[in-house]
Amino acid sequence: MNVGIRNREAHASILKMRIDRKKCCYCGGCVGACPLNALELWETELVVDEDKCTDCGICVKCCPVGAIEAD
Amino acid sequence: MKIKDNVDVLVVGAGPAGSIAARVLAENNVDVLVLDKKQEIGTPKRCAEGIHSNVLDTVGLKPDPLWVVNETLGAIIYSPSEKKVEINFNDVGIGGYILERKIFEKHLAIDAITSGARYAIKTMALGVIKENGKITGVKAEHMGEEIKIRSKIVIAADGVDSKIAKSAGLNTTNRLEDYESGFQYEMAGLKNINFKYLHLFFGSEVAPIGYVWIFPKIKNTANVGVGILSSRSTPEKNAKYYLDKFIEDHPDIFEDASPIEINAGGVPVSSSIDTFVMDGLMVVGDAAQIVNPLHGGGIRLAMNSAKIAAEVSVNALKENDFSSSRLYEYERIWEETDGVRVKKLLKVRAFLEKLNDKDFERLADILGAKDIINLSNANYKFLFRLLLTKAPKLLPLAKKFLV
Ligand SMILES: Cc1cc2nc3c(=O)[nH]c(=O)nc-3n(C[C@H](O)[C@H](O)[C@H](O)COP(=O)(O)OP(=O)(O)OC[C@H]3O[C@@H](n4cnc5c(N)ncnc54)[C@H](O)[C@@H]3O)c2cc1C
Ligand code: SF4
Ligand code: SF4
């Protein structure tokens, strides 16, 4: 099980959104709702592309289990 | 196993849509390869596994006890105060099946492979290959290795979290007002419900713009789930919150029950994406957001859209024409058939979304089983007459949304 942030090395994380990998069910609901194509779901890995994400919060709203939080 | 790097049709996604497309193509001797990122087709499921019998007829399947685990006789609809309206499928000439979807999907793949299709699993499509504006294949990753697969036509059947259509440049954004957020437990140990009926519970406290379902499977098990409109969801009061609350509030059914599986997922309940085709690309099923906007069921529509797309591909291949104008035939056929009904159902949804709990109670009093079936089939003319005599207060709303 793994939830990562792509490009973490290249950029200090400035995103407010965080994925709680202990809650995530890998359902892809957030991926389908992200307007910027910033999320990618592998089998048991949800990856956020920091370059694309604008912190719009849409994924926070549609996660059925509240696994995405924003400050 | 070596994965082919050049095929006539490349299908991304081995869900119901992808495997039906693959079977139809292979039956017509088309060289077809299906990719799926999962390491086991069908697992995990994102589904309550309920279908009408006509779903199978659409794609020429016969119910098989290997994957039909329960036959339902009807549905019971519960109003916010739990007034019941009972629908008997027999009265309206349909049957109901509950699938074991993991096995169902595997069988669809087995049928396709038997007909001549090839599959590559644990193979994630990363995006399309685009040359001179045409889609000519996909880039993918198979167990850490990047591969390129060329094709004349790509069929994107990659579900609600579709990457393919997006990467080709189609607008596939789901609006939160058109997106249901779903959460479900498959549970064992239920009691005090009729296991031959589907149970659907409505109410703003039960599921804001959505419903809770209990779809019985084998013995005392059932899929118990909820869908709520994403725009109404908050990090605290999300789909899981509503389902857990429902279970707490119904000890008579659930006090001895435990989950044996957790499922979640998003359901696109819009009227579909703007266009389904590009040069060399067709988008089908959930990836095209083709889902019943009223109840969120998508298996039939997904398989039917895939069947149409595959049939159009067969002819396009014979003519050696993969342009969007040739492939558009798929979209046109869909618009003239399922599309008509989906657009009408969207109106019914818009109407129902405006109702409060009191209105729902009133409807539960005045709607009979046949009326509910009619509504769910987008035949709503009768409603005006009924509301005029029995609930005139709702008539302006009905006129606004249903005319
Ligand atoms: C909680 C819930 C309950 C539901 N209940 C019902 C119900 O009772 N009845 C009903 O009819 N419908 C129901 N639905 C809807 C139904 O599940 C979908 O409409 C249906 O699965 C659509 O089929 P599909 O083949 O288009 O997509 P999917 O079944 O989602 O298949 C897509 C496939 O593509 C694969 N894939 C995705 N991206 C990639 C990629 N980049 N590379 C490779 N492979 C990829 C996935 O792994 C998956 O196997 C429910 C949905 C949810 C969320
Ligand atoms: S919607 Fe929530 S549970 Fe589903 S994949 Fe996204 S973060 Fe995970
Ligand atoms: S915050 Fe917005 S842009 Fe970022 S991943 Fe979520 S939905 Fe996408």
Does one domain contain both B364 and B329?
no
Q: What is the pTM of this model?
A: 0.95
Please identify which residue in the block is written with the tokens 């014979």.
B318
List, for residues B321-334, the tens digit of each pLDDT value: 999 999 999 999 99
Rounded Cα gap, residues B203 and B207, in angstroms: 6
User: Which of B148, B261, B267, B284 gets mutated to test ligand 1 (max ligand atoms within 8 A of its CB)?
Assistant: B267
Residues B188 and B40 in one domain: no
Domain ranges, residue B21: 6-49+101-173+272-340
| Residue of A19, A41, A43, A44 to mutate when probing chain B, most B C-beta within 10 A | A43
B24 and B127 co-located in one domain: yes
**How many other CB atoms sit within 10 Å of the CB of residue A67?**
26
Tell me the per-residue pLDDT of B213-249, one tens digit each, with 9 for 90 and over.
999 999 999 999 999 999 999 888 999 999 999 999 9
Q: For chain B, give the percent of residues with pLDDT over 70.
A: 100
Among residues B286, B247, B297, the alpha carbon closest in space to that of B47 is found at B297
Contact: B160, A28; criterion CB under 8 Å: yes
**Residue B8 predicted with pLDDT over 90:** yes
Report how far residue B260's alpha carbon sits from residue B240's, in angstroms, rounded to the nearest whole number.
16
Q: Does B35 lie in the same domain as B148?
A: yes
- Is B33 in the same domain as B131? yes
Q: What is the DSSP string of B294-314?
A: TT---HHHHHHHHHHHHHHHH
**pLDDT for the residue numbered B94:** 87
Instruction: Note whether B157 and B199 are same-domain residues.
Output: no
For a pLDDT cut of 90, what percent of chain B falls above it?
90
Q: What is the C-alpha end-to-end distance of chain B, expressed in Å?
A: 56
SS3 (DSSP) at B267: strand
The number of residues in chain A equals: 71
Domain endpoint, select from B268, B292, B312: B268
Overall number of domains in chain B: 3
* Per-10-residue mean pLDDT, chain A, length 71: 48 75 93 90 90 91 91 74
What residues 219-238 of chain B have any CB closer than 8 A to a CB of chain A? 230-231, 233-236, 238
Please provide the average confidence, as pLDDT, over all residues in chain B: 95
Residue B272: band (very low, low, confident or very high) from pLDDT cuts 50, 70, 90 = confident
Confidence of residue B362 (pLDDT cuts 50, 70, 90): very high
| Co-location of B163 and B181 in the same domain | no
- Is the same domain home to B83 and B206? yes
Q: Which of B113-127, B229-243, B361-375 has the highest mean pLDDT?
A: B113-127
Tell me the chain B residues in contact with residue A63 when contact means C-beta distances shorter than 8 Å: 181, 233, 235, 238
Does B235 share its domain with B187? yes
| Ordered structural domains, chain A, with CATH | 2-70 (3.30.70.20)
- Spell out the alpha helix ranges (H) of chain A: 29-33, 58-62
Mean pLDDT throughout B139-150? Answer: 96
B101-115 vs B16-27: helix crossing angle, rounded to 10: 20
Is the minimum CB–CB distance between B65 and chain A shorter than 8 Å?
no
Q: What pLDDT was estimated at residue A44?
A: 86
Residue-wise DSSP of B52-114: ETHHHHHTT----TTTEEEEE-EEEEE-TT--EEEEEGGGGT--EEEE-HHHHHHHHHHHHHH
Contact between residue B101 and residue B17 where contact means Cβ atoms under 8 Å apart: no
What sign does the CA torsion over B7, B13, B14, B19 have? negative
My answer on whether B235 and B138 are in the same domain is no
Same-domain pairing of B39 and B158: yes
Please tell me the distance from the alpha carbon of residue B33 to that of residue B19, in angstroms, as a whole number: 10
Contact B161 A62 (CB under 8 A): no
Closest Cβ opposite residue B183 in set A30, A65, A68: A65
B393-398 contacts, C-beta under 8 A, 24 or more apart: B394/B355, B394/B359, B394/B362, B394/B363, B397/B351, B397/B354, B397/B355, B398/B351
Q: Which amino acid is at B190?
A: L
* Calpha distance B64→B9 (Å, rounded): 29
* Residue A3: per-residue pLDDT: 55
Looking at residue B40, which CATH number applies to its domain?
Answer: 3.50.50.60
